[in-house]
Amino acid sequence: MHEFSVAQQLVLAASQAVPRPELVREVGVRVGLLSGLVSESLAFGFEAAKQHSAIPQAVLKIQVAYRSGFCPACNLTFEHAHFWAPCPKCGSQDTQNQGGDDVQLAYLEVDE
């Protein structure tokens, strides 16, 4: 189960990101649509992984991250959910596509 190891990495990263991890209330992550990860499985894995960690009370908030496309012809940046997409404005197939294929720690909310 790939999601579980990803969840363990997220718990570890969040635990090490702040001086007092026991105060971390919320962990925000951006899950790329192309990452192949199932959000429900990731949330489940996070619940398990946090139990014996430094952030047992943290809640996971998942945001979906789209892939970003860029068309050099019309200087347009657009979001989509495919590995590759043509420009929605001029139809050019010469687009550059990136992101949306990984998991990133987006933010941490810490109690004062």
Residues that bind Zn ion (CB under 5 A): 71, 73-74, 87, 89-90, 92
To Zn ion, the closest distance from the beta carbon of 80 in angstroms equals 13
Q: How far is the CB of 66 from Zn ion (least distance, A)?
A: 18
Q: Which is nearer to Zn ion, 76 or 110 (CB)?
A: 76
Q: Are 4 and 48 in contact (CB under 8 A)?
A: yes
For residues 35 and 84, what is the distance between their CA atoms, to the nearest angstrom?
A: 14
CA distance 43 to 31: 11
The amino acid at residue 12 is L
Tokens representing residue 101 in the block: 């294929």
Report in angstroms how near the CB of residue 82 gets to Zn ion at its nearest.
Answer: 16
Tell me whether residue 16 or residue 96 sits nearer to Zn ion (CB atom): 96
